[in-house]
Amino acid sequence: MSAPSDAGRPPRVLAVTAVAAERDAVCAAAECGAPAVLPGGYELCRADGGPVALDVLAAGVGPAAAAAGTATALTAAALAGQPYDLVVSAGIGGGWAPRAPLGAVVVAEAIVAADLGAETPDGFVPVTDLGFGAVLHRPDPALVKAVAAAAGAVTGTVVTVSTVTGSAARAAELARRHPGVLAEAMEGFGVAEAAAAHGVPVLEVRAVSNAVGPRDRAAWRIGAALTALTGAFRTLPGALVATAGPAPDPPPRSTSLMRGDPHVPEEGP
Ligand SMILES: O=C(O)c1cccc(C(=O)CC[C@H]2O[C@@H](n3cnc4c(=O)[nH]cnc43)[C@H](O)[C@@H]2O)c1
pLDDT tens readout for residues 38-96: 999 999 999 988 899 999 999 999 999 999 999 999 999 999 999 999 999 999 999 99
The pTM is what?
Answer: 0.91
How far, in Å, is the centroid of ligand 1 from the Cα of 93?
6
Say whether pLDDT at 261 is over 60: no
Say whether pLDDT at 35 is over 80: yes
- Pairwise CA distance, residues 188 & 204, whole Å: 6
Q: Is 205 in the pocket of ligand 1 (CB under 6 A)?
A: no
Tell which residue, 155, 158, 174, has the closest CA to residue 166: 174
Confidence of residue 5 (pLDDT cuts 50, 70, 90): low
Is the peptide bond preceding residue 98 cis, with omega within 30 degrees of 0?
Answer: yes
Q: What is the pLDDT of residues 169-202, one digit of tens each?
A: 999 999 999 999 999 999 999 999 999 999 999 9
- Whether residue 183 contacts residue 164, with contact meaning beta carbons closer than 8 Å, is answered with no
How far, in Å, is the centroid of ligand 1 from the Cα of 2?
31
Instruction: Report pLDDT for 269.
Output: 32
Instruction: Report pLDDT for 244.
Output: 81
- Pairwise CA distance, residues 170 & 185, whole Å: 14
Q: What is the dihedral of CA 54, 50, 104, 180, to 10 degrees?
A: 60
- Whether residue 187 contacts residue 91, with contact meaning beta carbons closer than 8 Å, is answered with yes
Query: 203: number of CA atoms within 13 Å, CB side?
Result: 30
Confidence of residue 268 (pLDDT cuts 50, 70, 90): very low
Higher pLDDT among residues 52 and 262, named by residue = 52
Q: What is the pLDDT of residues 106-158, one digit of tens each?
A: 999 999 999 999 999 999 999 999 999 999 999 999 999 999 999 999 999 99
Instruction: Report pLDDT for 77.
Output: 98
Q: Is 210 in the pocket of ligand 1 (CB under 6 A)?
A: yes
Per-residue DSSP letters for the chain?
Answer: -BPPSSTTSPPEEEEEESSHHHHHHHHTTS---SPEE-TTS-EEEEE-SSSSEEEEEE--SSHHHHHHHHHHHHHHHHHTT---SEEEEEEEEEE-TTTS-TT-EEEEEEEEETT-EEEETTEEEEGGGGTSS--EE---HHHHHHHHHHHT-EEEEEEE-SS---SHHHHHHHHHHSTTEEEEESSHHHHHHHHHHTT--EEEEEEEEEESSS--GGG--HHHHHHHHHHHHHHHHHHHHHH-BPPPPPPPGGG-TTSS-TTPPPP--
- Whether residue 161 contacts residue 168, with contact meaning beta carbons closer than 8 Å, is answered with no
Say whether pLDDT at 248 is over 90: no
Q: Is 184 in the pocket of ligand 1 (CB under 6 A)?
A: yes
Ligand 1: atom nearest CA of 225 is 6
Q: Is 222 in the pocket of ligand 1 (CB under 6 A)?
A: yes
Ligand 1: atom nearest CA of 22 is 6
Q: Is 212 in the pocket of ligand 1 (CB under 6 A)?
A: yes
Q: Which of 13-17, 89-93, 198-202, 261-265 has the lowest mean pLDDT?
A: 261-265
How far, in Å, is the centroid of ligand 1 from the Cα of 92?
6
Say whether pLDDT at 15 is over 70: yes
Angle at the Cα of 16 (from 163 to 262), degrees rounded to 5? 60
Instruction: Report pLDDT for 145.
Output: 98
How far, in Å, is the centroid of ligand 1 from the Cα of 38?
24
Q: Is 63 in the pocket of ligand 1 (CB under 6 A)?
A: no
How far, in Å, is the centroid of ligand 1 from the Cα of 118?
25
Q: What is the pLDDT of residues 211-246, one digit of tens each?
A: 999 999 999 999 999 999 999 999 999 999 998 866
Q: Is 89 in the pocket of ligand 1 (CB under 6 A)?
A: no
How far, in Å, is the centroid of ligand 1 from the Cα of 34?
25
